Amino acid sequence: MNRGTPPSTDPAPPQEQGVFNLGELVAGNYEIRSVLGSGGMGEVYEAHDRVLNRRVALKVVRPHIAADYLLREGRALAAIHHPGIVAVHAMGMHRSVPFLVLERVRGLSLDRMIDERRARGESFGLVEAADLLVAIADALSIVHKAGLSHRDVKPANVMLAPGARVVLMDFGLVLPHADRAGHRSVAGSLQYMAPESLTGDLADGAAQLGDVYALGVLGFELLTGIEPFDGSEPVDLYRAKTRVPLPRVTDHRPDVPVVLADLLAQMMAPEAADRPQGAEAALWQLRTVRKGLETSQAPRRFSVLVVDDDEDMRTALTLYVRTAVPDAEVEAIGDGRSAVKSVRRRVPDLLLLDLDLPDINGIEVCMLLRGMQLGSACMIVSVSGRATKADVELLQQLGVRSLEKGPALMNDLVGLVQRMRPARP
Amino acid sequence: MPDPTVEQMLAEARAQFAASLPAKAAAIEEQLARGAWEEAKRAAHKLRGSAGTYGFATLGAAAAEVEEALIASGLQPDAGAAARIGEKVREARVEAERIARGGT
């Protein structure tokens, strides 16, 4: 199995001839504590940042690798800010060796998790796998929107961190879409590389479609526990990736719905033009598949997220919803950040949102959620005691309805919920 | 014993809320007394929304007056404004105590 460039964080035995030494103080601030990853391209260390008193990851490339790689990675990460993407803190130089200071992401890499499941004879659940693919596509869509291609999407470069955070790592091969010469140089992890990336024969404007391909391969592996293509040499893999019929996920996992199997096949299409045209397009389709899985797997209960910092209001809103739909699944939370986290975890049918929250206010929550393109999947209703006309207008522009706190709220809300979810016979 | 119906739970929630009102009003008085204007404004805002929603319109309106007066003062009321706000809160507390005794 060719896993390509080194994984970024899993602990590994210390290397005898590392670029930096254990215990070494780098640039007068970063104390090297352990080796997290080591490979042909470079090394990643865990270090203690003495000034800010925190753990960080320090990345270096081996002397024969152009330092440009590191600079490109640092600049790419500096341009992107997203919880699904590892953060860069700084770049520096020590003993004439350039190094990158990165967020230390704790957790388990996806390839380790796949290996562990395989060893136990277990596979990922459909919803679990779809959630992971959605999260990775979400992060990747941010990379693509920044005009960049990751070029090394694979399970080893995805970390599953606490709090259900899925983090895309190792941007060592990142390139701007427009860097035509760069894209024609063959680099990456063979199993996950698109046929055109193996030959360096990329069409103009198609740079990001290699990432979509890699995500499809990753999805195949996630669901089946095996890599879809046999071969260790580029020529063998190129043949396997372009030979019809292509492997289908349902050949190994019959319970995968046709719609998901078709989407993965489309993502792994030999011709770049036949794939979803970027991570954003793949994300949209994956979300649709994910939503479908939920409804097909169980008779879904009407779900509502109540967000209000006043416990009395949370109680009232919960009971009003249950007046309309007695078996509604209601989650009630008291702050905006938890609301965004909850929606990212699971999109409710209805979000009842107080505008005046202590941390980030309701309008800011709506703005953050707008980036998730919830569309018709979730109706957002603001519930406020003091919304101004300007607030209401802004909310309307964001597609958010408004209800007022007060004696009419119960009737207003019950009516709205019943219209959304007519009573069952 | 059968599970309570949603209507019974609503009635119970309303009774509990009514019982808690004097303490809420007293808390706002205490915040004003120590000049914690932002805290008082937030508490008045909450009371405005929840009292109105639970059907105690007079109390909700009184809390709204307190909140608006605090906002109008830029959260730095002078002595005169503070006295007027204090008077409104006392009225709110009287109303809260009336509700807690079983008034509607």
Binary contact (A322, B20; C-beta < 8 A): no
**Do the Cβ atoms of B53 and A407 come within 8 Å?**
yes
Cβ of B10 within 8 Å of Cβ of A386? The answer is no
Q: Is the pLDDT of residue A329 over 60?
A: yes
Banded model confidence at residue A298, pLDDT cuts 50, 70, 90: low
Provide the pLDDT confidence category of residue A10 given band limits of 50, 70 and 90: very low
Q: Which residues of B touch A322 (CB under 8 A)?
A: 6, 9
pLDDT of residue A8: 40
- Asked if the model's pLDDT at residue B69 lies above 90, the reply is yes
Q: In this predicted structure, what is the pLDDT of residue A210?
A: 94
Phi, psi of A145 (to 5 degrees): -65, -30
> Residue A67 pLDDT more than 80?
no
Q: How confident is the model at residue A147 (pLDDT cuts 50, 70, 90)?
A: confident
pLDDT of residue A423: 45
pLDDT, tens only, A357-409: 888 888 888 888 876 666 667 889 999 988 888 888 888 888 889 999 998 99
Q: Phi, psi (5° rounding) for residue A410? A: -60, -50
User: pLDDT-derived band of residue B3, with 50, 70 and 90 as boundaries?
Assistant: low
CB contacts < 8 A, A to B, total: 60
Residue in the block written with tokens 């120590």: B34
For residue A313, the chain B residues in CB contact (below 8 A) are: 46, 49-50, 53
Q: What residue of A is the nearest CA neighbor of B9?
A: A319
Amino acid, single-letter form, for residue A272: A
**DSSP H helices in A92-125:** 110-119
Interchain proximity B50–A409, CB inside 8 Å: no
Q: What is the pLDDT of residue B58?
A: 92
Q: What is the pLDDT of residues A184-206, one digit of tens each?
A: 676 778 899 999 988 888 777 78
Mean pLDDT of chain A: 86
Alpha helices in chain B (DSSP H): 6-33, 37-53, 57-72, 79-100
A contact test, residue of B21, B47, B50 with most A CBs within 10 A: B50
Among B6, B55, B67, beta carbon nearest to A322: B6
Catalytic residue among A111, A138, A152, A354: A152
End-to-end CA distance of chain A: 56
Residue A322 has pLDDT above 80, yes or no: yes
Say which residues have a Cβ less than 8 Å from residue A100's Cβ, sequence separation at least 6.
A58, A59, A60, A70, A73, A74, A88, A90, A91
Q: Does A323 touch chain B (CB under 8 A)?
A: yes
Please provide the size of chain A in residues: 425
Residue A152 annotated among the catalytic residues of the structure: yes
Where helices occur in A298-335 by DSSP H, the ranges are 311-324
Set of chain A residues whose Cβ sits within 8 Å of the Cβ of B54: 312, 316
State the pLDDT at residue A133: 96
Confidence of residue A297 (pLDDT cuts 50, 70, 90): low
Nearest to B49 among A315, A319, A405 (CB): A405
Name the residue among B10, B13, B46 with its Cβ closest to that of A310.
B46
Residue A90 scores a pLDDT above 90: yes
Sequence-distant (6+) residues with CB within 8 A of A251 are none
Mean pLDDT of A215-230: 93
Q: Is the pLDDT of residue A166 over 50?
A: yes
Distance from CA of B79 to the nearest CA of A (A): 26
C-alpha to C-alpha distances, A235 to A113, A188, A369, nearest whole angstrom: 29, 15, 45
User: Do strands A379-384 and A350-354 pair parallel, antiparallel, or not at all (unpaired)?
Assistant: parallel
The conformation of residue A156, written as its DSSP 8-state character, comes to: G
